Structure 1
């Protein structure tokens, strides 16, 4: 198995990528989506079961199928409120709950690195969500990894090298979960 990941500025593009991955045969249980919700664009919700059980998750109203019907609200340290579904959300919630202040990276960084994403990239993706983006991550068989990568890239994904460079020009070096999450005014989409 290989993990493929894409960051999106627009939730609709990320949602389309999830649907395309499912249409290509990637099981919903192998796909995750995490979207910043500081501006409450995904609404508030009632409690529901699913990704990140026990992390204050609620169901998001929507008409999507597959993975997207299981979206729920949760908070990730340093990122703030997110809408999330899938294995990454559950892993991030568990890692965040078990993380000790000043100890091992928990939350979204730990979940991504445990799935095989290089730590440097995991920090970039976490920062991207913190700044208002949506992250799509899928565990795929090696045989379909190139197709899954192509699906993410053609769905208006953020070029990681360009965006990382822009962050670094602003003085960013790595995700810091001790910083305050961005609020609705800071999230620029």
Structure 2
């Protein structure tokens, strides 16, 4: 099994990527989505807990366009340093520490530890986590070798964010790596960040 990961600035693009992966034959159990929910558009962290059973809260999934598969299991939770997210799948469960019934944190904990332990290069994991913190969404899938090229192509089409270019954009502001001890972005900060990134294109 290999891991493929894509960062998207918009939840709708990430949702399309999840659906395309499922259509290609990647099992829902091997896909994860984590999307910023700072605006509480999809409810609050008290509404459901995506980490329990790798995704509960089917009502949340239905309300935001999940028609089947992984997307029907979306729930609302909080990830240290990222803040409130809508999420489903194994990455969400691991990031929250629910898979082991523990609290996320420590050198191998949280969203960075969850990604790096699954095979995501650490330098990219920091960009992906920061991308979600700043309003984006990350899709990660564990795939068989035979599906790797197709899965990677699915995640790189459309509005995929190149992690190398995004790291450079973050570095312009003095950013070096994701820090789960920092405050999550507010909805207003996310909107300013989106405008800044759009102006750089």
Same fold (TM over 0.5): yes
Partner of 1:22: 22
* Counterparts of 1:97 and 1:83, CA distance in 2: 20
* CA distance 1:41–1:47, shift in 2 (3 Å): closer
Q: Residue 78 of structure 1: CA displacement?
A: 0.5
Match of 2:129 in 1: 126
Aligned partner (choices 61, 74, 94) of residue 71 of structure 1: 74
- Aligned residues: CA RMSD: 2.3
Q: In the alignment, is the contact (CA less than 8 A) between 2:46 and 2:76 conserved in 1?
A: no
* SS of equivalent to 1:34: strand
Match of 1:53 in 2: 52
Contact 2:126 2:178 in 1 (8 A): yes
State yes or no: 1:141 paired with 2:144.
yes
Question: 2:198 is matched with which residue?
Answer: none
Q: TM-score, normalised by structure 2?
A: 0.85
Distance 1:29 1:158, change over 3 A: same
Task: Say whether the 8 Å CA contact 2:95–2:104 is kept in structure 1.
Answer: no
- Could you list the runs of 5+ residues in structure 1 that have no partner in the other structure? none
- Determine the C-alpha separation between the residues in 1 that align with 2:96 and 2:145: 27
Distance 1:44 1:170 in 2: 30
2:90 is matched with which residue? 87
Contact 1:112 1:122 in 2 (8 A): yes
Unaligned residue ranges in structure 2 (runs of 5+) = 195-201
Q: Which has the higher helix share?
A: 2
Deviation of 1:8 (Å)? 0.3
Q: Flag as ranges the 4+ runs of structure 1 deviating above 4 A.
A: 45-49
* Count of residues in correspondence between the two structures: 186
Length-normalised TM-score, structure 1: 0.90
